[in-house]
Structure formats: C-alpha cells, structure tokens
Structure 1
C-alpha cells in the first residue's frame, strides 16, 4: 500500500462541505435564539450549527443588527437571548401585577450569595450573625434565583450557593459583576444609613415590615450527609 502523506491527512480531516455564508449563519443563530425558552451559549450554538460555522462572529453580527430594534440580543450569564429593548419595557406592563414579597431574611441571604458567591451556608450564617432557616434557602431555590454550586474541597465538602441566570435576567444583569456597589445603593435610597452589624459586608435592602413566622431559629440541615 502507498504511504499516507500529510496532504492525505489534511484532506481527510477537512469538512465535506464548506460552511454556509455568514449571513446564513446569522439567520441560523437568529432562529435558534428565537425558538429557545432559555439563553443559549456559544458552545450550544456551535454544537447545533453546521461544521465550520463561527457562532461567535454570527452572534456579534446579529447583536449589531438588533441594537436599535424593538427587541435586542442580550447576554445573560454565559448565554444569549432575545429581550425587549429596555426603553420599551413599559409597553409590556399589564394591569394586574403579582408581587411576591421577600422576607428580610431572604433579601439578606440573597444579597450575601450574590455578592460573595460561591458561598456556603456556614459562611452566610457567619456574615448575617444568625442561623439560616431551611425555608429561606428553599424559597430562593424554588424561585430559581439561587442554585447549588460546586462543593468545597474541605472537610465535610459543604455545598456552595450561587445566583442563577434567572436572577441575572430578572434584574437585567449580564453577570454578577454588574451588581451595584454600596455607593450606588445608598444614592438610590436602598441602603440604610446606619452602619452595618459587625461582619456584614454586603449591601442589604431593608424590610421595615416584619413578617410573622420569619424568625430565624436553630440551623437545620439543608442536605443530607453524603
């Protein structure tokens, strides 16, 4: 048999067909984002597009094309999705708005997770200075604003908590790095002027109305030992 050459290896690894033109790739990305109920990452786009496509370039072109339209392509965490243009959000309001009020404990816990993620339950309790009840974390997880992260490689391998893309999407954030700082929250009147308790190093939105049954009791195990 004749020896294989480098040219043979190169030809065998090349795609059978050339990638579609960039305008066609852009249309494909547009179709995927439009049909998806969740933000789609560049990696997911690459897996779904034909071989040889450049989803990042197609996505960048699509974002430019929709920059001044009624809907835009927004980055949400690691994914991208169509969203209403921010200046037109008032058109989406309805007469009936269902509000779900978070308890002070839930607001403080959510703020700690957002600003200190990934953070363990013990670290949340250390910062707040009080035990975190099972119901508080369950509520945030049920709302899909918080999820479990990787376990710490420390004795007991405690679970960590991080905010989700649903949380980022709700507040119009590209990543947790876009969260407002202390000065911004004070300027908006969302942070108490009194100094925080010792160890409390995150901004907290005050809840002036105490809710019955919200008292934090002894810590309960949120997850069974593995």
Structure 2
C-alpha cells in the first residue's frame, strides 16, 4: 500500500455497502438532467419528450426532478410554459455580486413596461394616456432592445399606430410561468404598491399575451419589423 493510500480516510462503516446497494438512477432522469443543464434557454415539454428514451413519461420525470431539486442550491422551475434550472431564490443574493451590474430601468421605463404587460396590445398614445405624460420613443427602444417588449401589429385606427406586447423573455426574466401570474389588485394592495383606501371602482386588467392579433389589429409590414428598434442613444429613458 502506498503512503498516499495509507493516509486516505477510511469510509464510515456501511457507507460503501450502502453506495453499492443504492438503486441506479433512472436513465431517463439522468438524460433529463443533462438536457436541462446543457440548455441555453428554457425547454418546452414537447422538446424534452422527443429527446427522452421511447416510453419515458416526460411530465412524471419533470415532476420527480422538480421535487428532488426543491431543497438544493438550484431548482427546476417552470417559466413561460417551459422548464429550466435556476439558482434557488434564497441564494441569489450570494451570486449576484459575481455578475455584471445589470442596467436599471428608469421609472418611466418600468411604468411603460407595466402598462404594456397589463394592457397589451397597447399603442404609444394609449400608454401616454394611462401614464398621464408623454413617453420618449427611447423608452420603448430600451424595452425592445432588452427583448421584453415586441411589436405586435398595427391598430385599425387613424394613423394605424403600432401595438406593443410582452415577450417570452419578459416571462423568463421575471420568473413567470404565464402573463396571468402577474399580481392582481389584492396582491398589489398586500405589497403596499396600491393604497388600500383607493376607490372601490379601481380595477387591474387581467393581462393576456395571446400571440394572435386582435380584431382591431393588422399585421406589421415585414420590412418594418426588420428595420425597427435601433440601438438607443444618449439618455433613452428621459421624458419628452
């Protein structure tokens, strides 16, 4: 026996036997882990099922893996109707210092994003009417460049203004499985974002990001979609 081997600690009694007798991990579960770990973006259930061994139950495996990772350093979560591995919420602050500081949205951009999320499809004029102030075009450019907002179509009204809606990237960034998971009136009151004494007539719209165009929307011209959303210049979040 070498000196190095002699210095290695002996395994605790029963440890080696338990390891040898432990049941082998389900091959489908191992493949699922590998897929999710290597994926650069969330995976939908259909894509996962197509890559699993024949006869594997994708939904059952996802449920089992989600439960298995519930108390680990990373969790299996469902966002935008898809699945991805994400750092456990209680550990996020420890890793944040290792990431580059993200660009913070201005108050104008946050308000605009919230209005689009709840009221989509919505035009720039409608955003300004709800906010009560004019909105700099650069504010919308910032949200488009971030990938959180998209151009939907054109409203069938004078001037045929462009309509805006949110994207899958928006859902992933905010950890939402669906746009309907945005907080409602009672939740907003509970967080203090809305005064509990507000008018009884105040309502929060039920958000919908249905990709299909509404009856009052027309498709965008292909050349318009390709040429839009230039890189913002100067102070894009300022107000007009």
Fold shared by both chains (TM-score > 0.5): yes
Q: How does 1:58-207 map to 2 (within 5 A)?
A: 58-94=61-97, 98-149=101-152, 151=153, 154=156, 159-191=162-194
Partner SS, residue 40 of structure 1: coil
Partner SS, residue 67 of structure 1: coil
The answer for unaligned runs of 5 or more in structure 1 is 1-21, 203-210, 217-226
Residue 43 of structure 1: aligned partner: 46
The answer for unaligned runs of 5 or more in structure 2 is 1-24, 206-234
On the 8 A contact 1:173/1:179 being kept in 2, the answer is yes
Looking at structure 1, the residues matched to 160 and 47 of structure 2 have their Cα atoms a distance apart, in angstroms, of: 31
TM-score normalised over the length of structure 2: 0.61
User: Over residues 158-201 of structure 1, what are the superposed CA-to-partner deviations in whole Å (9 max), with x where a residue is unaligned?
Assistant: 654332333333333332222223444454444578979xx996
* CA shift for structure 1 position 111: 0.5
TM-score normalised over the length of structure 1: 0.65
Distance 1:56 1:154, change over 3 A: farther
Residue 238 of structure 2: aligned partner: 214
Residue 57 of structure 1: aligned partner: 60
Distance 1:56 1:95, change over 3 A: closer
The count of residues paired between Structure 1 and Structure 2 equals: 184
On the 8 A contact 2:154/2:163 being kept in 1, the answer is yes
The structure with higher relative contact order (CA 8 Å, sep 6+) is 2
Looking at structure 1, the residues matched to 138 and 177 of structure 2 have their Cα atoms a distance apart, in angstroms, of: 28
